[in-house]
Chain A
Amino acid sequence: MTDMPAPAKSANARQSGSFEHLVYVLRANPVTLLAFGLFAFLIFCALFGPSVVPYDPLETNAAKALQPPSMEHWFGTDQIGRDVFSRVIVATRLDLSISVAAVALSFVVGSILGAIAGYWGGWLDIILNRFLDTIMAFPLFVLAMGIVAALGNTIENIIYATAIINMPFYARLVRAEVNIRRDAGFARAAKLSGNSDLRVLALHIFPNALPPMMVQVSLNLGWAILNAAGLSFIGLGVRPPTPEWGIMVAEGANFIVSGEWWLAVFPGLWLMIAVFTFNLLGDGLRDIVDPRKRT
Chain B
Amino acid sequence: MLNVRNLAVSFQTRRGQVDAVRGISFDLAKGEILGIVGESGSGKSVTSYALMRILDAGGVIRAGEASYSGTDLRRASERNMRDIRGREISMIFQNPRAALNPIRKVGHQIEDVLRQHGRATRQDARTKAIAALEAVRIKDAAARYDAYPFELSGGMCQRIVCAIALACDPKLLIADEPTTGLDITTQKAVMDLVRDLIRDRGMSSILITHDLGLAAQYCDRIMVMKDGQIVEQGDPVQIFSDPQHAYSRKLVDATPREGESIRSLLPPEERKALIPHKVHPRPLLEVTDLVKTYQGKSGPVHAVRGISFRIDQGQSVGLVGESGCGKSTTSEILVRLLDPTSGTILFDGQDIAGIPAQRFVKDPRRADIQMVFQDATDSLNPRHSARQTIAEPLRRLGGMGGSALAARIEELAALVGLPLPLLDRFPHQLSGGQKARVGIARAVALNPRFLILDEPTAALDVSIQAVVLNLLVDLRAKLGLSYLFVSHDLHVVRLLCDHVLVMKDGAIVEEGPAHRVMSEPTHPYTRELLAAAPKPPARRIAAA
* Touch between chains A and B, by CB atoms below 8 Å: yes
Residues of A at under 8 Å CB distance from B?
Answer: 1-7, 9, 11-14, 17, 24, 28, 184-186, 188-197, 204, 207-208, 291
Taking a contact as CB atoms under 8 Å apart, the answer to whether A14 and B429 are in contact is yes
Distance, CA A2 to CA B443, complexed state (A): 28
* 4 residue pairs, one from A and one from B, having the closest CB atoms: A185-B379, A194-B396, A193-B393, A194-B397
Q: Inside 8 A of B428's CB, which chain A residues have their CB?
A: 6
User: A246: shortest Cβ distance to chain B, in Å?
Assistant: 40
Q: Inside 8 A of A2's CB, which chain B residues have their CB?
A: 41
Taking a contact as CB atoms under 8 Å apart, the answer to whether A5 and B431 are in contact is yes
Of A5, A6, A14, A194, which one neighbours B366 at CB under 8 angstroms? A194
Q: Say yes or no: is B361 at the interface (Cβ < 8 Å to chain A).
A: yes
Distance, CA A14 to CA B14, complexed state (A): 18
Q: Inside 8 A of B527's CB, which chain A residues have their CB?
A: none
Taking a contact as CB atoms under 8 Å apart, the answer to whether B335 and A24 are in contact is no
Taking a contact as CB atoms under 8 Å apart, the answer to whether B396 and A14 are in contact is no
Q: Inside 8 A of A3's CB, which chain B residues have their CB?
A: 40-41, 432
Distance, CA A86 to CA B18, complexed state (A): 54
Q: Which of A17, A193, A208 has the most C-beta atoms of chain B within 10 angstroms of its own C-beta? A: A193
Which residues of chain B in 484-532 are interfacial with respect to chain A, using CB atoms and an 8 Å cutoff?
A: none
Taking a contact as CB atoms under 8 Å apart, the answer to whether B361 and A188 are in contact is no
Distance, CA A220 to CA B432, complexed state (A): 38
Distance, CA A9 to CA B425, complexed state (A): 9
Q: Given A186-B379, A186-B380, decide whether A192 and B335 contact each other with a Cβ distance below 8 A.
A: yes
Q: Given A24-B14, A186-B378, decide whether A193 and B373 contact each other with a Cβ distance below 8 A.
A: no
User: B46: shortest Cβ distance to chain A, in Å?
Assistant: 7
Q: Given A14-B385, A208-B381, decide whether A191 and B431 contact each other with a Cβ distance below 8 A.
A: no
11 CB-based A-B contacts, threshold 8 Å: A1-B40, A1-B43, A6-B430, A6-B431, A13-B425, A14-B426, A193-B392, A194-B362, A194-B393, A196-B362, A208-B383
Of B45, B358, B426, which one neighbours A197 at CB under 8 angstroms? B358
Q: Inside 8 A of A6's CB, which chain B residues have their CB?
A: 425, 428-431, 434
Q: Say yes or no: is B98 at the interface (Cβ < 8 Å to chain A).
A: no
User: B406: shortest Cβ distance to chain A, in Å?
Assistant: 14
User: A220: shortest Cβ distance to chain B, in Å?
Assistant: 23
15 new A-B contacts, CB < 8 A, other than A6-B434, A188-B337, A192-B335, are A1-B45, A5-B41, A6-B425, A14-B426, A184-B379, A185-B380, A186-B384, A192-B370, A193-B442, A194-B393, A194-B397, A195-B361, A195-B396, A207-B383, A208-B381
Q: Inside 8 A of A184's CB, which chain B residues have their CB?
A: 378-379
User: B455: shortest Cβ distance to chain A, in Å?
Assistant: 12
Of A9, A12, A24, A188, which one neighbours B373 at CB under 8 angstroms? A188
Nearest CB in chain A to that of B439: its residue: A189
Distance, CA A28 to CA B45, complexed state (A): 30
Q: Say yes or no: is B32 at the interface (Cβ < 8 Å to chain A).
A: no
Taking a contact as CB atoms under 8 Å apart, the answer to whether B337 and A191 are in contact is yes
User: A61: shortest Cβ distance to chain B, in Å?
Assistant: 56
Distance, CA A184 to CA B428, complexed state (A): 16
Taking a contact as CB atoms under 8 Å apart, the answer to whether B41 and A1 are in contact is yes
Distance, CA A275 to CA B41, complexed state (A): 44
Distance, CA A291 to CA B13, complexed state (A): 12
Taking a contact as CB atoms under 8 Å apart, the answer to whether B14 and A186 are in contact is no
User: A193: shortest Cβ distance to chain B, in Å?
Assistant: 4
Distance, CA A195 to CA B46, complexed state (A): 44
Interface residues of B, count at CB 8 A:
45
Chain B window 365-403, contacts with chain A (Cβ cutoff 8 Å), 1 for yes, 0 for no: 011001101110011111111000000110011000000
Q: Say yes or no: is B235 at the interface (Cβ < 8 Å to chain A).
A: no
Q: Inside 8 A of B392's CB, which chain A residues have their CB?
A: 189-190, 193, 195
Distance, CA A186 to CA B384, complexed state (A): 10
Taking a contact as CB atoms under 8 Å apart, the answer to whether B41 and A185 are in contact is no
User: A186: shortest Cβ distance to chain B, in Å?
Assistant: 4
Q: Say yes or no: is B289 at the interface (Cβ < 8 Å to chain A).
A: no
Taking a contact as CB atoms under 8 Å apart, the answer to whether A17 and B383 are in contact is no
Nearest CB in chain A to that of B376: its residue: A185
Q: Inside 8 A of A24's CB, which chain B residues have their CB?
A: 14
User: B462: shortest Cβ distance to chain A, in Å?
Assistant: 14
Distance, CA A145 to CA B404, complexed state (A): 61
Distance, CA A3 to CA B435, complexed state (A): 13
Distance, CA A202 to CA B358, complexed state (A): 16
Distance, CA A190 to CA B371, complexed state (A): 11
Q: Inside 8 A of B70's CB, which chain A residues have their CB?
A: none
User: A199: shortest Cβ distance to chain B, in Å?
Assistant: 8
Q: Inside 8 A of A17's CB, which chain B residues have their CB?
A: 429
Q: Inside 8 A of B432's CB, which chain A residues have their CB?
A: 3
Q: Inside 8 A of B335's CB, which chain A residues have their CB?
A: 192
Taking a contact as CB atoms under 8 Å apart, the answer to whether B371 and A14 are in contact is no
Q: Inside 8 A of B381's CB, which chain A residues have their CB?
A: 186, 190, 204, 208
User: A234: shortest Cβ distance to chain B, in Å?
Assistant: 43
Q: Inside 8 A of A13's CB, which chain B residues have their CB?
A: 424-426, 429
Q: Inside 8 A of B429's CB, which chain A residues have their CB?
A: 6-7, 9, 13-14, 17
Of B18, B421, B431, which one neighbours A11 at CB under 8 angstroms? B421
Q: Inside 8 A of A194's CB, which chain B residues have their CB?
A: 361-362, 366-367, 393, 396-397
Which residues of chain B in 340-369 are interfacial with respect to chain A, using CB atoms and an 8 Å cutoff?
A: 358, 361-362, 366-367
Nearest CB in chain A to that of B399: its residue: A194
Q: Inside 8 A of A190's CB, which chain B residues have their CB?
A: 381, 392
Taking a contact as CB atoms under 8 Å apart, the answer to whether B442 and A189 are in contact is yes
Q: Inside 8 A of B431's CB, which chain A residues have their CB?
A: 5-6
Taking a contact as CB atoms under 8 Å apart, the answer to whether B337 and A193 are in contact is no
Taking a contact as CB atoms under 8 Å apart, the answer to whether A14 and B425 are in contact is yes
Of A11, A185, A204, A207, which one neighbours B424 at CB under 8 angstroms? A11
Distance, CA A3 to CA B443, complexed state (A): 25
Distance, CA A17 to CA B375, complexed state (A): 24
Taking a contact as CB atoms under 8 Å apart, the answer to whether A1 and B393 are in contact is no
Distance, CA A13 to CA B382, complexed state (A): 14
Q: Inside 8 A of B430's CB, which chain A residues have their CB?
A: 6
Q: Inside 8 A of B385's CB, which chain A residues have their CB?
A: 14
Q: Inside 8 A of B384's CB, which chain A residues have their CB?
A: 186
Q: Which of A1, A3, A14 has the most C-beta atoms of chain B within 10 angstroms of its own C-beta? A: A1
User: B308: shortest Cβ distance to chain A, in Å?
Assistant: 25
Distance, CA A49 to CA B321, complexed state (A): 70
Nearest CB in chain B to that of A188: its residue: B337
Distance, CA A6 to CA B20, complexed state (A): 16
Taking a contact as CB atoms under 8 Å apart, the answer to whether B45 and A193 are in contact is no
Q: Which of B20, B43, B379 has the most C-beta atoms of chain A within 10 angstroms of its own C-beta? A: B379
Distance, CA A82 to CA B367, complexed state (A): 73
User: B247: shortest Cβ distance to chain A, in Å?
Assistant: 15
Taking a contact as CB atoms under 8 Å apart, the answer to whether A185 and B396 are in contact is no
Taking a contact as CB atoms under 8 Å apart, the answer to whether A208 and B382 are in contact is yes
User: B468: shortest Cβ distance to chain A, in Å?
Assistant: 16
User: A20: shortest Cβ distance to chain B, in Å?
Assistant: 10
Q: Given A1-B41, A11-B421, A194-B396, decide whether A185 and B361 contact each other with a Cβ distance below 8 A.
A: no
Nearest CB in chain A to that of B427: its residue: A186
Distance, CA A1 to CA B177, complexed state (A): 12
Q: Inside 8 A of A188's CB, which chain B residues have their CB?
A: 337, 371, 373, 379
Q: Given A1-B45, A11-B421, A14-B385, decide whether A192 and B378 contact each other with a Cβ distance below 8 A.
A: no
Which residues of chain B in 129-179 are interfacial with respect to chain A, using CB atoms and an 8 Å cutoff?
A: none
Distance, CA A53 to CA B428, complexed state (A): 50
Taking a contact as CB atoms under 8 Å apart, the answer to whether B337 and A185 are in contact is no
User: B44: shortest Cβ distance to chain A, in Å?
Assistant: 9
Q: Inside 8 A of B439's CB, which chain A residues have their CB?
A: 189
Distance, CA A184 to CA B381, complexed state (A): 9
Distance, CA A7 to CA B16, complexed state (A): 14
